[in-house]
């Protein structure tokens, strides 16, 4: 069974995705103007976008697509 | 007879309790926080200005400078706080300052800045790339206005509600390639012998052997600070009694909660001013006045979460600190106070609401920062130099001019 995966990105720019968005493995989830790219590790749905003030980062959690 | 004695005992006990409660309340009023702050959306602590007119402008020589920075505080955030606290007809304290300006906030490599590049612009007077602290894009470190003031013989201080080593305070007291290097930033802050450091982030001062440490080495910065002459404190009660000239106050492992029993930003600001003013008055080494930076760090955090109530509360907590600075400046007559922001967060506008300030609707256009210009408010001698529309790098340049510091900006050799 595949587990949820989280991705961190600098919070200066909002993530390119919102809760509920379908995402694919390899997709860049960072805003186009961000310093870096943030490659989505799995195909699935964005389950949560949380701000982490200590690191000044967004934590984007992806729930994997259930097998067919 | 026994019953009568019991009644008198009960009455005596009640009177004692009332006296104790009254003593506690009146002693709490010294710090203007008569009730503990436990609700992250409660703004009942806020004391609105009694008058509508501007504070008077000063005309003397500048001895002290207090720079107040609202992290992420654009005009939308100020307006939201004003509406929530007073309504459309009122002004919060920072809006009562006699000089108003607007500054642009772009960084060297991006239209939308982060707090590292924004802080570096406000501290060092140079543009840098997002993420970099206290240095130009080519990694040449530049003196901050705090360091320049220190070199001039002024006492210095940083007061924040984030970790002490977060991007904005870091820009005034350290020089690193990345804002992520908080353990290194913490070491540089202590090494720079900044007189007053109040905020959170104790974990970056603890050696890795400590279970709460955020460091990857064995340096115990609290012990190093004590060896260097700092008094190290960690509670609001200790804050009330501590004396200078070197004080390190770390009130949380991470960022502050901005709730009781921590000291509030205004309380830390008052204490920092007391210590710095006393240090500058009593000490030959620091006898040229003081420079203090105060940051309302968590306005940005509330806006990243797109939480209007929390945003208003954080702006008002910051405004209470501004009031503390202005009260001192008005009484002192030789203190310049400049209030501004490093950038706007959330793209906040207010499309609906009543004139009384209820039913306010906040509209957020992003969860990140925006490139909107941010306000400048100023009071005190030479405050007229801070009016107009200009670039954020000019804020410390103009402060340097008022203090007779030149050249500024200046690279560190």
**Cis omega before residue B409 (within 30°)?**
yes
For A1, B189, B218, the CA distances from B209, given in Å and listed in that order, are: 37, 21, 7
Question: Model ipTM?
Answer: 0.90
Nearest by CB to residue B130, choosing from A35, A51, A58, is A35
d(CA B300, CA B254): 16
Residue of A nearest to B299 (CA): A53
> What are the structural domains, with CATH classification, of chain A?
5-64 (2.40.50)
Eight-class DSSP state of B251? -
Of the candidates B290, B313, B288, which has an alpha carbon nearest to the alpha carbon of residue B302?
A: B313
Integer Cα distance of B140 and B126 in angstroms: 11
Q: Which distant-in-sequence residues (6+ apart) come within 8 Å of B245 by Cβ?
A: B155, B195, B229, B275, B279, B283, B286
Helix, strand, coil abundance in chain B, percent, nearest 5: 40, 20, 45
| Helix (DSSP H) and strand (DSSP E) numbers for chain B | 12, 14
Contact between A53 and B298 using a beta-carbon 8 Å cutoff: yes
Q: Which residues contact B259 (CB under 8 A, 6 or more apart)?
A: B37, B38, B39, B40
B228 is a domain residue: yes
Residue A16 to chain B, least CA–CA distance (Å): 10
Q: Per-residue pLDDT tens for B139-172?
A: 999 999 999 999 999 999 999 999 999 999 999 9
Angle of CA points B114, B144, B401, to nearest 5°? 115
pTM metric for this prediction: 0.90
Query: How far apart are the C-alpha atoms of B249 and B190, rounded to whole Å?
Result: 12
- Which of B73, B78, B151 shows the shortest CA–CA distance to B118? B73
Positions of B annotated as catalytic residues are 115
Residue B156 lies in a domain: yes
Q: How many residues does chain B have?
A: 413
Q: Say what the pLDDT of residue B263 is.
A: 97
Shortest CA gap A39–chain B (Å)? 19
B253 within domain boundaries: yes
Per-position DSSP letters for chain A, written without gaps between them: -PPPEEEEEETTS--S--TT-EE-TT-B-S-TTSSS--B--SSEEEEEEEEETTTTEEEEEEEEPPP-
Does B10 fall in a domain? no
Cα three-residue angle B124-B125-B131, rounded to 5 degrees: 65
Q: Which residue from A minimizes the CA distance to B181? A: A55
pLDDT of B355-381, one tens digit each?
Answer: 988 889 999 999 999 999 999 999 999
**Inter-chain residue contact B367 with A11, CB threshold 8 Å:** yes
β-sheet bridge partners, residue A60: A7, A49
Tell me what pLDDT residue B23 has.
52
Judged by CB atoms closer than 8 Å, whether chains meet at A56 and B111 is answered as no
Beta-carbon contacts of B203 under 8 Å, excluding residues fewer than 6 positions away, are B163, B212, B213, B214, B215, B253, B254
**In chain B, which residues have their Cβ closer than 8 Å to the Cβ of A31?**
368
Q: Which of B129, B368, B371, B372 to mutate to test the interface with A (most CBs of A within 10 A)?
A: B368
CATH number at residue B340: 3.40.720.10
Q: Is residue B413 part of a domain?
A: no
**Is residue B412, in this structure, part of any structural domain at all?**
no
Please identify which residue in the block is written with the tokens 């009384």.
B356
The number of domains in chain B is 1
Contacts of B304 in chain A (CB under 8 A): 11, 51, 53, 58
Is B349 part of any domain? Answer: yes
Q: Which residues of A lie inside 8 Å of B (Cβ-Cβ)? A: 10-15, 31, 33, 35, 49, 51, 53-56, 58
Helices marked H in B157-307: 167-173, 182-191, 221-227, 236-241, 265-282, 299-304
Instruction: Report d(CA A33, CA B15) in Å as an integer.
Output: 66
Chain A CB contacts of B298 below 8 Å: 53
Q: Which residues of chain B have pLDDT under 50?
A: 25-34
Task: Determine the 3-state secondary structure of B247 from DSSP.
Answer: strand
Token pair of B410 as six digits: 């200046």
Q: How far apart are CA B149 and CA B144, in angstroms?
A: 9
Q: How confident is the model over A45-65, as pLDDT tens digits?
A: 999 999 999 999 999 999 998
Say yes or no for a CB contact (<8 Å) between B367 and A33: no
What whole-number distance in Å separates Cα of residue B194 and Cα of residue A43? Answer: 50
Cβ neighbours around B206 below 10 Å, total: 22
- Of how many residues is chain A composed? 68
Confirm if B298 and B164 have CB atoms less than 8 A apart: no
Look at residue B54 in the predicted model and tell me its pLDDT.
65
Tell how strand B155-163 and strand B290-296 pair up: parallel
Domain encompassing residue B325: 59-403
B369-370 vs B344-345, strand pairing mode: antiparallel
**Chain B contact residues (CB < 8 Å to A):** 110-115, 130-131, 162-163, 166-167, 179-180, 254-255, 298, 301, 304-305, 366-369
């Amino acid at each position: 069974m595949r587990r949820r995966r989280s991705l961190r990105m600098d919070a200066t720019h909002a993530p390119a995705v919102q809760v509920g968005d379908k995402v694919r493995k390899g997709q860049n989830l960072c805003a186009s103007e961000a310093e870096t790219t943030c490659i989505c590790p799995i195909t699935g749905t964005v389950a949560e976008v949380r701000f982490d003030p200590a690191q000044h980062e967004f934590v984007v959690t992806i729930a994997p697509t259930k097998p067919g | 007879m026994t019953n009568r004695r019991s009644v008198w005992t009960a009455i005596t006990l009640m009177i004692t309790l009332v006296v104790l409660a009254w003593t506690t309340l009146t002693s709490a009023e010294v710090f203007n926080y008569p009730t503990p702050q436990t609700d992250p959306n409660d703004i009942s602590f806020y004391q609105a200005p009694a008058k509508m007119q501007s504070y008077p402008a000063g005309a003397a020589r500048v001895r002290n400078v207090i720079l107040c920075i609202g992290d992420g505080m654009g005009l939308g955030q100020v307006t939201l706080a004003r509406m929530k606290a007073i309504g459309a007809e009122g002004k919060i304290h920072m809006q009562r300052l006699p000089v108003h300006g607007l500054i642009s906030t772009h960084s060297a490599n991006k239209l939308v800045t982060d707090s590292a590049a924004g802080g570096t612009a406000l501290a060092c007077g140079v543009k840098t790339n997002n993420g970099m602290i206290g240095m130009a894009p080519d990694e040449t470190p530049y003196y901050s206005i705090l360091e320049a003031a220190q070199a001039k013989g002024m006492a210095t201080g940083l007061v924040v509600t984030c970790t002490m080593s977060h991007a904005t305070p870091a820009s005034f007291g350290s020089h690193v390639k990345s804002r992520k290097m908080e353990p290194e930033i913490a070491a540089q802050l202590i090494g720079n012998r900044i007189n007053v450091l109040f905020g959170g982030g104790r974990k970056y001062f603890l050696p890795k052997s400590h279970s709460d440490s955020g460091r990857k080495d064995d340096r115990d910065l609290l012990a190093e600070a004590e060896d260097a002459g700092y008094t190290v404190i960690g509670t609001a009660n200790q804050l009330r009694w501590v004396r200078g000239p070197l004080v390190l106050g770390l009130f949380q492992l991470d960022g502050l909660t901005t709730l009781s029993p921590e000291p509030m930003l205004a309380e830390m600001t008052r204490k920092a001013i007391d210590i710095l003013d006393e240090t500058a008055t009593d000490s030959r080494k620091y006898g040229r006045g003081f420079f203090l930076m105060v940051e309302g760090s968590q306005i940005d955090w509330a806006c990243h979460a797109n939480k209007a109530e929390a945003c208003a509360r954080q702006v008002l907590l910051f405004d209470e600190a501004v009031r503390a600075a202005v009260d001192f400046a008005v009484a002192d007559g030789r203190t310049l106070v400049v209030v501004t922001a490093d950038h706007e967060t959330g793209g906040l506008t207010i499309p609906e609401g009543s004139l009384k300030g209820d039913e306010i609707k906040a509209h957020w256009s992003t969860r990140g920062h925006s490139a909107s210009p941010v306000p400048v408010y100023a009071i005190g001698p030479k405050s007229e130099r801070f009016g107009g529309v200009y670039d954020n790098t000019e804020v410390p340049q103009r402060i340097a001019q008022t203090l007779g510091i030149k050249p500024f900006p200046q690279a560190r050799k």
